[in-house]
Amino acid sequence: MTVVELLAATVLSVLLMTAVLGVLQTITIGQKSLMRGQTQEAWHGRFAEQLAWDLTNSRTIRPLETGFELDGFAGRDLGNGLPIHCRSVVQYTLVPAGDGNCLLRREIHPESLTLDNQSTDVVAFDVDSVAIVSPGDAPSSTIDGQLIPRQTTIDGDLPPRVRVELYHPNQSISLFVHDYALR
């Protein structure tokens, strides 16, 4: 074996060991985060991103009995989801489903001339209440250790900052709380 072959074998083995150690480190980090329970539900990221789009491109909000309605230009192509910025009404509402409620997102294009001018998507299951409030509002209160969720308090023009809260049916677990800076 020549010195060149020996050097090449050493370099290749070092590269292989580096790759193996990188994979092991990634697996270890993933296991540690799972053990600490720091995983986030898959729908959280999608919901936060979709809601950020809806809030940023909307102008007004109106509370509904089981959710809220945003009016503005958050329209997306209903087929492929690409932004088209047409006038739209986006409703987030709770509907009964089995033993609990599910949160629906309905996008309506009121000025569309076609019959296919709305779409409805399921956002989450086991949601008992949804509210959009100003971050400075008083926090949700508790009575006998039971969390009393807030209702949507904003009506009219969207403020520069809002907080969105979703609560689990047992009323003591918040499923999703997120602050949005809009303007």
Q: Average pLDDT, stretch 20-36?
A: 75
Could you report the per-residue pLDDT of 113-138, keeping only the tens digit for each? Answer: 777 788 888 988 888 888 888 776 65
10 has pLDDT over 90: yes
Instruction: Say if residue 108 is in the same domain as residue 34.
Output: no
Instruction: Say if residue 85 is in the same domain as residue 18.
Output: no
Beta-carbon contacts of 93 under 8 Å, excluding residues fewer than 6 positions away, are: 64, 66, 67, 103, 104, 106, 130
Q: Which domain holds residue 103?
A: 42-181
Instruction: Say if residue 143 is in the same domain as residue 104.
Output: yes
106: confidence class by pLDDT, cuts 50, 70, 90: very high
Q: Average pLDDT, stretch 12-41?
A: 76
Instruction: Say if residue 125 is in the same domain as residue 160.
Output: yes
Look up the pTM and report it: 0.70
Q: Average pLDDT, stretch 45-66?
A: 90
